[in-house]
Amino acid sequence: MSNAPSAPELVCPAGSLRALQAAVDAGADAVYLGLKDATNARNFAGLNFDDAQIRDGVAYAHARGARVLMALNTFADARDASPWFRAVDTAAALGADALIVADTAVMAYARDHHPALRLHLSVQASATSHEAISFYQQRYGIQRAVLPRVLTMSQVGHLVRHSSVDIEVFGFGSLCVMVEGRCALSSYATGQSPNNAGVCSPPSAVRWQDTPAGVEARLGGVLIDRYGADEPRGYPTLCKGRFEVEGRRDYALEEPTSLNTLALLPELIALGVKAIKIEGRQRSASYVEQVTRVWRAAIDLAVDTGSRFAVHSSWTAALARHAEGQQHTLGAYNRPWR
């Protein structure tokens, strides 16, 4: 009998039907998507799915052996939670394989009305201990938890060993220095929280202005960066702005860099991590296809070779084209100062 660890599920983003098809064709085991409304934490104009697109996407994925996870990962409006409850009903009716949920009222509704539908605890729920995950499991019946991107490798291992639910971690994509679900920066600058409004930088609050000193990016009136004429400009978020601190202008909170854990794959697999998530529902179908293809090959090789696994230079080059600031980091997984 083989004691080889099983391959973690590769969970890939789908901000559109085309991206969903690209992910499935490139080897995704599961895709995650959201509706075109405030139930979705990537509620950007021009992205996401209506009912007909979800139906088509579910059919396409299921015909090729892939699963569809629907993200209902914002917190319901206390004045009227019915849109979130309707979204649960929609997911069940259209054949979604699981819900990714943060709000306890939404979990309770799904548990009571659709008990056969799997519940995955969203990263927005900010569960960073096995005790917290156990609470959600016992109370709402969650079967998987997505960990915030602030835990070290040893902390992830401790949590996996002490939890009876599947654990999913982020493997590649934009890095968030905050514990997701607890960030108040956007609320401070714009009056809209990503936990409710669905975006860190609402388009209505973003302003670009040409000035003699360069192009200024403002969020809710707050100057968060200034770019030279030929300098690349990322979409402005407050945490990745450049500010003057003690006479030095630099990234005060977080540099624009992408999480890339390819080198840690054998360790993550050995720990028993059940799923690896690729971030980027706001990214193009081309991004989804290329990143999925790299990670499919890497996971398969890591399972086959174990400790002899080595990252191919072609993978690194392919992912570098899609990294923020063309930089990679292991993020909180590797903190040598601890």
Per-residue pLDDT tens over the stretch 118-127: 999 999 999 9
d(CA 161, CA 240): 34
d(CA 24, CA 12): 9
Q: Is residue 40 within 8 Å of residue 73, measured between CB atoms?
A: yes
Cβ neighbours for 137, distance < 8 A, ≥ 6 positions apart: 143, 164, 165
Name which residue leads in pLDDT, 234 or 321: 321
Q: Which two tokens stand for residue 31?
A: 């895709």
pLDDT at 1 over 50: no
d(CA 322, CA 12): 15
Q: Tell me the pLDDT of the chain averaged across its residues.
A: 89
CA dihedral sign of residues 160, 163, 166, 171: negative
Q: Which two tokens stand for residue 130?
A: 């096995």
Cα angle value 185/237/221 (rounded, 5°):
75
Please, what are the domains in the chain?
A: 9-175+257-333 (3.20.20.70), 194-251 (no CATH)
Average pLDDT over residues 159-184: 85
pLDDT tens for 186-211 read 777 888 777 776 667 777 888 999 99
Name which residue leads in pLDDT, 33 or 229: 33
Stated as kind and residue range, the H or E segment containing 206 is strand 206-211
